[in-house]
Chains A and B, each alone.
Chain A
């Protein structure tokens, strides 16, 4: 049986494209919410466009992940760290899918239109003050949680790359077009 050491090229491509998009999304989110400058409207528009793009990519990525799986974590990784790795990845997938939907629903609950490429998207929930408030709070606090998780994810990736040097970083960062590789030794 072949041991999988790397994510498939498709998974790696999706990961790095989405890394850029999601980071841009989070920075634009906190930036647009704190400015009255003329660029505000453009930032909102980019935020909404990226949101839909991330939602679509996240669903594709989830399907690809379910189909191809992921390389096993190193056997000598302590159990609590393994658990943290599993849980944080569940959380990242959940946020990638939930955040755009929460944002869209939040705008719907306030009767704000979402217009992408001249197309007025349908409302996905009815107008409601209390629903709007709940969704607004969720979008706000989960946004910061999302960024905190990404920082943890980044720290853990660098820990694997620089300190443990156990191949976990390479499983996503490698430029190789092969999903599987012979063991290093």
Chain B
């Protein structure tokens, strides 16, 4: 066979080529997965960022870990329909499941020690769609970018004496939040808190018109300022006890106000509030009429991912909702995999 001496090197060359093609494909895959990019900010890193100062709260949400479930209704005035064609803005009553919570990775935190309080909410409509949100009582977010949030996590956990000072220097927007945290009054009840979306979204109405919006839940109960030292005397779970007792006597209410951006208002930076004179529309009321412990409550298995939006709402150029969605999923994946650390009986979920 005269070809034989040449066939062997040709086969060897082909084998090398095949190996090179396969290796290239595998490397491209690994690159896409971030294995060569240790600097990439991943949702895993954001979630790990809550575990830097204490071991992770197994079976619990990785942040806003302490909370209590509520159920009630969202009573829509119909006024929001000019902004969004979502069914939730058609006049009517829609079931709501939610969770009052504290912005801490410690599920056993002392209620008087946690500055930021939050509210997760899911409103369901007969068309099978949902509007989920996760709001807090601060009027704006501490940082302007997702990387800034991770830097804040690292600085807070750092033992270097100048870590926080360096962080504030690099993220001057944090000063406003710091001032709020120092000066804003504390209250003795979740029912007296105003909760804010902070992030901006786009609402689209039936005519196809888009509006940049933010929204707030304004409490019907008059906020009464209580000094933190006074709150500390009420016990570590006073917020949960108070809201359960209050709602046994009658429902608690919040008015939902949608703030509409003027043309030119930025929607990409939740650390900056819009001017006060922006148009506000009263789109409905949240009426909370039942409180249940989280352990077997209807909110336990819900991820209050703020990007779960009905048709007629979508995210804006605000970088936080997508980042929150990806991080919330990692938190959900971890806590559901830790079922043995947070025993789940038959789900309390109504959905």
Show the binding face of A for B, using Cβ within 8 Å. Answer: 26-27, 30-41, 44, 110-113, 115, 118, 120, 127-130, 132-133, 136, 147, 151, 154-155, 158-159, 162-163
Contacts and interface: CB of A to CB of B under 8 A. Distances in A.
Given A38-B322, A129-B339, A162 B18 contact: yes
B307 interface: yes
B315 A162 contact: no
Contacts of B317: 38
A129 B349 contact: no
A40 B339 contact: no
Given A34-B40, A36-B322, A37-B323, 17 more contacts: A27-B29, A31-B34, A33-B43, A34-B33, A36-B323, A38-B322, A41-B321, A41-B322, A111-B349, A120-B127, A120-B128, A127-B347, A130-B339, A136-B337, A147-B29, A151-B25, A158-B21
Interface of B: 11, 14-15, 17-19, 21-22, 25-26, 28-29, 32-34, 40-44, 46, 127-130, 146, 301-303, 305, 307-308, 311, 315, 317, 319, 321-323, 325-327, 332-333, 336-337, 339, 344, 347, 349, 351
B18 A158 contact: yes
Given A36-B326, A111-B301, A162 B17 contact: yes
Main secondary structure of the interface of A (DSSP, over half): helix
Main secondary structure of the interface of B (DSSP, over half): helix
Contact of B32 (A30, A37, A162): A30
Given A34-B34, A36-B41, A130-B339, A111 B351 contact: yes
Given A36-B326, A111-B302, A41 B315 contact: yes
A40 B302 CA distance: 20
A39 B319 CA distance: 9
B307 A41 contact: yes
A163 B15 CA distance: 8
12 contacts: A26-B29, A34-B42, A34-B44, A36-B323, A39-B322, A40-B322, A111-B351, A112-B308, A118-B311, A127-B301, A132-B336, A162-B17
A32 B329 CA distance: 12
Contact of A129 (B130, B319, B344): B344
Contacts of A127: 301, 347, 349, 351
Contacts of A35: 34, 40-43, 326
B14 A162 contact: yes
Contact of A38 (B17, B127, B319, B336): B319
A32 to B, nearest CB: 8
A151 B25 CA distance: 8
Nearest to B351: A111
A112 B19 CA distance: 41
A159 B18 CA distance: 7
A89 B148 CA distance: 48
Given A40-B322, A127-B349, A151 B22 contact: yes
Leading 5 A-B pairs by shortest Cβ distance? A30-B33, A34-B34, A162-B14, A129-B336, A36-B323
Counting chain A CB atoms within 10 Å of each CB, which of B19, B32, B127, B351 scores highest?
A: B32
Counting chain A CB atoms within 10 Å of each CB, which of B127, B315, B322 scores highest?
A: B322
A127 B301 CA distance: 8
A121 B125 CA distance: 15
Counting chain B CB atoms within 10 Å of each CB, which of A32, A40, A130 scores highest?
A: A40
Contacts of A154: 21-22, 25
Contact of B301 (A41, A118, A129, A136): A129
B325 A40 contact: yes
B303 A110 contact: yes
